[in-house]
Homo-oligomer: A and B are copies of this chain.
Amino acid sequence: MTIERRDVLRSAAMLGLGLAAPAIGQPTRKLGYAIVGLGYYGLGVIIPQFAKCAHSRLAAVVSGDRAKAERVAREHGLSPQAIYSYANFDSIRDNPDVDIVYVCLPNGLHAEYTIRAARAGKHVLCEKPMAVSVAEGQAMIAACKTANRKLMIGYRCHFEPFNREAMRLARSGAAGKIRFVRSEHGFVQGDPGAWRLKRALSGGGSLMDMGVYSLQAAHYMTGEEPVAVTARESTDRRDPRFAEVEDMIDWTLEFPSGAIAGCLSMYSANQNRILLMGDKGRIELEPATRYDGNRMWTGRDGREREVTPPDAQANQFAGQLDHLADCAVSGREPIVSGEEGLRDMAIIKAIYRSAREGRTVRLERGA
């Protein structure tokens, strides 16, 4: 179902229908975003992208650091009324300039701010992973449903041109019958004080961070839902970075077609690769899911042909921001909905359980 939605949307985008037909769902004005959290991602990565957006603009900032928020507001031409603290965040309901709230906070705060944003009548773009538990994810979906607002998860790779072209190639049968997808994401986490290493904020270690990329790639490369997971964790608990969360998890997802995805996340080595192997060939991305500089190859045995998508210069962040703006206006469901985020939460839970119990865990259909 997710794939069908995705394909419909992709086809529309490829034909230029999206831009040609504003009447069926394009905003006639740029929708206003409030960025919640002015950390590295919200401030350093997301805010600069609005300059490249067709249907989205920065309308407000939410921060616990008033001085920082004032500086950002000045730099982006926002009035002081567009600055919110975490305490007065709920009053954003009275700001008609804000259509969408983008939650760029640590994972442990996603549920609270998504639910408060929905109750304030705003659509929500929430960073991945959507929450730190299945129950939180369900509550977030329910809150947005009750408020009749859209909920989208920040799975930016669905808007990244190399990953989109890889999905298209995989679906087209370019690699033949898909047998195995390898998806590995890691980096050397150097700072023992990082919030990502504090369980209360992160909900877990590398799996809750880079692992989400590996898991998503397994979905969108196979186009299938997994039915079982088998996982192993390895963490040096004497390492001060890993007192609270795991370093490395390796897991296998089994799909109904018989395809397997072998996934890895880690905080102790650098890796960023997706490789699909089929009986007729392969599709490989490395780096696969970076902000930029991604590359792709196809071949029968190895990296035989480098592939550059026709829209290689498309900006994945602008694509993501504009997509939710479009959905907010058209009423369409985002291609990466809260339900997709929730399914990933259920799989993450099963991965942890499998690693803990040392056995394969079956996933419920649609889990």
Q: Name the B residues within 8 Å of A177 (CB-CB).
A: 268
Copies in the complex: 2
Cβ–Cβ contact B230 & A300, under 8 A:
no
Cβ–Cβ contact A270 & B266, under 8 A:
no
Mask: chain A, 167-211; 1 = CB below 8 Å from B; 0 = not: 000000000010110101010100000000000000000000000
Q: How far is the CB of A82 from chain B (nearest CB, A)?
A: 39
Mask: chain A, 265-290; 1 = CB below 8 Å from B; 0 = not: 01011111000011100100011000
Which one of A177, A179, A271 has the greatest number of beta carbons of chain B within 10 Å? A179
Interface size on A, residues (CB 8 A): 41
Q: How far is the CA of A186 from the CA of B236 in the complex (A)?
A: 32
Contact of A260 among B182, B232, B300 (CB under 8 A): B232
Q: How far is the CB of A103 from chain B (nearest CB, A)?
A: 29
Q: Name the B residues within 8 Å of A359 (CB-CB).
A: 358-360
User: Contacts A230-B232, A252-B232 known; A269 to B279 CB distance under 8 Å?
Assistant: yes
Chief secondary structure at chain A's binding surface: strand
Cβ–Cβ contact A230 & B270, under 8 A:
no
Q: How far is the CA of A252 from the CA of B272 in the complex (A)?
A: 19
Q: Name the B residues within 8 Å of A269 (CB-CB).
A: 179-180, 277-279, 282
Cβ–Cβ contact B270 & A282, under 8 A:
yes
30 A-B pairs in the complex with CB atoms less than 8 angstroms apart:
A179-B247, A179-B248, A179-B268, A180-B248, A180-B250, A180-B269, A182-B184, A182-B264, A230-B232, A230-B358, A232-B252, A232-B360, A234-B259, A234-B260, A235-B258, A236-B258, A248-B260, A250-B252, A250-B262, A262-B262, A262-B264, A269-B279, A269-B282, A270-B277, A270-B300, A270-B301, A271-B277, A271-B282, A272-B301, A359-B360
Measured CB to CB, the residues of A under 8 A from B are 177, 179-180, 182, 184, 186, 188, 228, 230, 232, 234-236, 247-248, 250, 252, 254, 258-260, 262, 264, 266, 268-272, 277-279, 282, 286-287, 300-302, 358-360
